[in-house]
Chains A and B, each alone.
Chain A
Amino acid sequence: MTTITVENIKKSFGDADILKSVSLDIKDQEFTVLLGPSGCGKSTLLRIIAGLETQDSGTIKIGDRVVSHLPPRERNVAMVFQNYAVFPHMTVFENIAFGLRMKKAPEKKIKENVERTAALMHIDHLLKRYSGQLSGGQRQRVAVARALAVEPDVLLMDEPLSNLDALLRLQMRAELKSVLEASKTTTVYVTHDQVEAMSLADRIAVMNSGRIDQYDFPDEIYNNPATEYVGSFIGNPPMNFISPDFQVGTVPNGAFQLGIRPEDFHISKEQRDNYWPITVLTREKLGSHQQLSAELNGQLFRVNIPNEIEIESGNTLYLMPKEDKKRWYTEGGKIIL
């Protein structure tokens, strides 16, 4: 059983509060993604869990063990770094074996684990090479194999795919998902890429300037963003936020804004009851659908429409938000349930 419990972690560098009392409960074998833009504190949180940074206050527990003040090597965690950190002066074999050698594992076990993880990551033919002779993708595989070889309680990954080119990233993402599912290791994964987060995570923690805005399943994050921030960070294009002035129907108490995703509209080319007349500003054909930027009474928003609807810039289109997809937010940006 390897749970991770993060309790009221605070951290500041100089005057900047990087983490403002963050708490997180990660279940055994769960794949958690810390998602947020750069500077939101996600990497710092990961590094605090790893022990590479020390929190100002708060506790970290791995399983039942409080590890807050233990050095990294006593936490039984493994980590994959953004720029791989594959030791240049060691062969691929020695890189993967490094953690096991540090634990003084018997030679037989080292050989077994190295060969098993290398085969898993499809680098078993590269064991005698040095990292200078490998491509970026191969180095990334070595870094993952090195982490898996030590059979850690917790696997930490800091933007592991962000240095790969787009095609390779897609391929590695799929591969990582199956490898990590099979390894059943509790994993914390940091990324700023929402697609990566949605595709890999069991649960996503969306971070916003030092706080966790929402920690939930990917579907929940997408369908019921807990804050205006989450709605506007997740989804491409993001959720529309519209003031309810011209809303027909009931508006809940305290509602300041309506949140509605671009694909959640009824669309009509003719005027109908309760439909909003919008002016199309631009139309982008995206293959599977078209995306409109539109305007109504000075408010801008985005709408996804099927390819069949013929529309030009400057035309008027009639929209009505789907009732079950409407989400209401307070003036402070919190969802009204």
Chain B
Amino acid sequence: MNKKYYPYVLIAPSVLFLLIFFVYPFIEVFVQAFTSSDGHVGLSNFENIFTDYNFLPSLKNTLLLALVVVPVQLCMAVGMSLMISKMKKGRDTVLYILTIPLGVSDLAAGIIWLAILDQNGFLNSFLFSIGVIDQPESWLNYQNPIIIFTAVVVAEIWRATAILLVILVSGIGLIPKEYYEAAEIFGANSWVRLWKVTLPLLRPSLQTALILRTLLAFEVFAVVMLLGGSNMPVLMGETFNWAFNYQDAGAASAYAVVILALSIVFTLFYLRVLRVPKGARI
């Protein structure tokens, strides 16, 4: 065989894989989203979901959750990665320990936090045993939407901060130490060095981390499902409901398209805001 075909032959299996399991379903979702139940092309699926009483709450909850979780995780991850980068010994060990929650599936994470916060959970038993409460309390019910929201926030932070952390730790490792030394010589204290040197030079990593984390936040599902159930609708949960409970693939696809649109908007936003000018890279 002619040598110039080798690269194409070698790449063919993965291209085929992507075409079958990614591009095809992707197109299929679009087709379904824009095809009404009677077979006409149009926006009827979107009309269905937009007029549904759960749409606005699920959109609001999803955005609010991302708005709270992502900035908190960002600050924590920046702080933690700075500390880890300064460590001389045991750095890898600490990093491995901090990334353990990443290896836990989000369903399992939800179960863990349910086991803690449930009426018969660890927190109740603990507070009861030390006498803070007289009887086990049920926090995760429809009367306490703020507690449910907080519980989801805590669980999400616990579960997924490490994804930002690993990206930032490797990003900080790429910054040559001479920049810090030069800044130090020319009068910058550690706070100024963080704002004038570390964070600007970390922009590419911050960009990657934020895009990844925000898109994942829009897809939040299992943790919310377990801790909030129907008391806290989110976009992904609604997609699931329409697909499996209401058996309406068109509406579910429309939800998926909404999530995709949100993701694209935020990705473009991050690309724009954290843009590094040409020639200004390390």
Please report A residues at the B interface, Cβ cutoff 8 Å: 50-52, 71-73, 77-79, 81, 83, 85, 87-90, 98-99, 102-103, 129-133, 146, 150
Stretch at the interface among B56-64, B134-142, B151-159, B180-188: B180-188
Q: Residue A73 contacts which of B176, B184, B200, B281 (CB distance < 8 angstroms)?
A: B184
Asked if A88 contacts B187 (CB within 8 A), the reply is no
Q: Which residue in chain B gives the minimum CB-CB distance to A104? A: B187
Set of chain B residues within 8 Å of A78, measured between Cβ atoms: 185-186
**A73-B187 contact given A79-B182, A83-B176, CB 8 Å threshold:** yes
Asked if B187 contacts A99 (CB within 8 A), the reply is yes
Set of chain B residues within 8 Å of A87, measured between Cβ atoms: 179, 182-183, 197
Asked if A129 contacts B279 (CB within 8 A), the reply is yes
Quick check: is B280 within 8 A (CB to CB) of the other chain?
Answer: yes
Asked if B279 contacts A85 (CB within 8 A), the reply is no
**A85-B280 contact given A78-B186, A102-B187, A146-B186, CB 8 Å threshold:** no
Quick check: is B282 within 8 A (CB to CB) of the other chain?
Answer: yes
How far, in angstroms, from A296 to B178 measured CA to CA in the complex? 51
Within 8 A of A (CB), among B196-237: 197, 200-201, 203
Asked if A83 contacts B178 (CB within 8 A), the reply is yes
Set of chain B residues within 8 Å of A131, measured between Cβ atoms: 279-280
Q: Which residue in chain B gives the minimum CB-CB distance to A75? A: B185
How far, in angstroms, from A232 to B185 measured CA to CA in the complex? 36
Set of chain B residues within 8 Å of A133, measured between Cβ atoms: 278-279
Within 8 A of A (CB), among B247-282: 276-282
Closest beta carbon of chain A to B88's beta carbon, Å: 12
* Minimum-distance CB pairs A-B, first 6: A102-B187, A132-B279, A99-B186, A130-B279, A85-B178, A133-B279
Asked if A71 contacts B281 (CB within 8 A), the reply is no
Other than the known A72-B181, A81-B182, A85-B181, what 15 A-B pairs have Cβ atoms closer than 8 Å?
Answer: A73-B187, A79-B185, A81-B178, A85-B176, A87-B179, A88-B201, A88-B280, A88-B281, A88-B282, A98-B186, A99-B187, A102-B188, A130-B277, A130-B279, A131-B280
Asked if A132 contacts B278 (CB within 8 A), the reply is yes
**A89-B200 contact given A52-B181, A71-B184, A81-B178, CB 8 Å threshold:** yes
Write 25 A-B pairs (CB below 8 A) sorted by A numbering: A51-B184, A71-B184, A72-B181, A72-B185, A78-B186, A79-B182, A81-B178, A83-B176, A85-B181, A85-B182, A87-B197, A88-B281, A89-B201, A89-B203, A102-B186, A102-B192, A129-B279, A130-B278, A130-B280, A131-B279, A131-B280, A132-B279, A132-B281, A133-B278, A146-B186
Closest beta carbon of chain B to A286's beta carbon, Å: 38
Set of chain B residues within 8 Å of A72, measured between Cβ atoms: 181, 184-185
| Chain B residue total in the interface (Cβ 8 A) | 24
How far, in angstroms, from A26 to B197 measured CA to CA in the complex? 33
- Encoded as 1 (CB less than 8 Å from any A CB) or 0, chain B from 34 to 46 comes to 0000000000000
How far, in angstroms, from A150 to B185 measured CA to CA in the complex? 11
How far, in angstroms, from A78 to B184 measured CA to CA in the complex? 10
Set of chain A residues within 8 Å of B105, measured between Cβ atoms: none
Q: Which residue in chain A gives the minimum CB-CB distance to B276? A: A89
How far, in angstroms, from A146 to B183 measured CA to CA in the complex? 11
Set of chain A residues within 8 Å of B200, measured between Cβ atoms: 89
Quick check: is B189 within 8 A (CB to CB) of the other chain?
Answer: yes
Set of chain B residues within 8 Å of A130, measured between Cβ atoms: 277-280
How far, in angstroms, from A337 to B184 measured CA to CA in the complex? 46
Q: Which residue in chain A gives the minimum CB-CB distance to B201? A: A89
Closest beta carbon of chain A to B171's beta carbon, Å: 13
Asked if B185 contacts A50 (CB within 8 A), the reply is yes
How far, in angstroms, from A103 to B187 measured CA to CA in the complex? 7
Set of chain B residues within 8 Å of A77, measured between Cβ atoms: 185
How far, in angstroms, from A72 to B180 measured CA to CA in the complex? 11
Closest beta carbon of chain B to A240's beta carbon, Å: 41
How far, in angstroms, from A103 to B158 measured CA to CA in the complex? 41
